Amino acid sequence: MTVRAPPGGTARHWGRVWPLLLVLLGLGAAYAAGLHRVLSFEALGARQEQLRALVAAHPLLAPLAYVAAYAAAAALSLPGAVVITLAGGLLFGTWLGGASAVLGATAGAILLFLAARHSLGDWLAGRAGPLLGRIRPGLERDGFSYLLALRLIPLFPFWLVNLAPALVRMPLPTFAGATLLGIIPGTFVFASVGAGVGAVLAEGRQPDLSVILRPAVLLPLLGLALLSLLPVAWRRWKDRKHG
């Protein structure tokens, strides 16, 4: 016996998965074009004078182009986010470069989040209904705090922290707000490194990125992450007290 799909079923299926397919196709095209090799310290060092000249010639358009390029790279989960962030500091200085990197990374994260949620959210909810039903209230109540803590500690893969909230149907404002606030400290640290790394790159050497692991930088980030989790601890304490 042949089982026929319900009318419109195929159309609904493709309508659900096309955003994620578009991301995957874009990622494949980027690798085929060799863009992953461009996002390296060697390539940045070799092209820094050319890039500086473009920024000088187009002082208003250049930051916008940088934000768009960063958003595309983040949405496609291309490796090299640190290189792009350092490039922002190198080309625009710590403050403008850091702010541009924050905007680009946040925009790209939102695009990937929406694509994954649209394509996989309903599918996952249909197969993990009871489990998702148990954990969703906590995520809806405390998801901002959890995601903010993950963003503040720049040790977790950016693409993974973009996808995980989408799979549990986190609200977009929660995701966008926690992402924007959470990546600010680490992004500005890397942008400040990039602002003074021109000579290092010109000599063909790689910048010292261990700065993010130094106690003077990492401990404040960990402290902010713990502070972001205080509302969660407070609610759980109240629930236990009144439970």
The pLDDT value given to residue 35:
65
Non-local CB neighbours of 41 within 8 Å, separated by 6+ positions: 83, 86, 201, 206, 207
The pLDDT value given to residue 55:
94
Question: What are the structure tokens assigned to 41, written together?
Answer: 């310290």
3-state secondary structure of 143: helix
Displacement of CA 157 from its chain's centroid (Å): 8
Residue type, 74: A
For residues 71 and 76, give the distance between their C-alpha atoms in angstroms, rounded to a whole number: 9
Inter-residue contact 126 to 154 (CB < 8 Å): no
- Per DSSP, 5 falls in state P
Q: How many residues does the chain have?
A: 243
The pLDDT value given to residue 219:
77
CA distances from 213 to 11, 14, 82, 184 (A): 49, 44, 14, 16
The pLDDT value given to residue 134:
54
Residue type, 223: G
For residues 228 and 85, give the distance between their C-alpha atoms in angstroms, rounded to a whole number: 24
The pLDDT value given to residue 149:
87
pLDDT tens for residues 29-43? 666 656 666 778 888
CA trace torsion 29, 30, 34, 35 (10° rounding): 160
The pLDDT value given to residue 3:
42
Inter-residue contact 85 to 190 (CB < 8 Å): yes
The pLDDT value given to residue 30:
63
For residues 43 and 169, give the distance between their C-alpha atoms in angstroms, rounded to a whole number: 38
pLDDT tens for residues 90-142? 999 999 999 999 999 999 999 989 888 877 655 555 544 554 555 566 666 78
The pLDDT value given to residue 196:
86
The pTM assigned to this predicted structure is 0.79
For 27, phi then psi, to 5°, come to -65, -45
Those residues of the chain that have pLDDT short of 70 are 1-24, 26-37, 120-140, 211, 238-239, 241-243
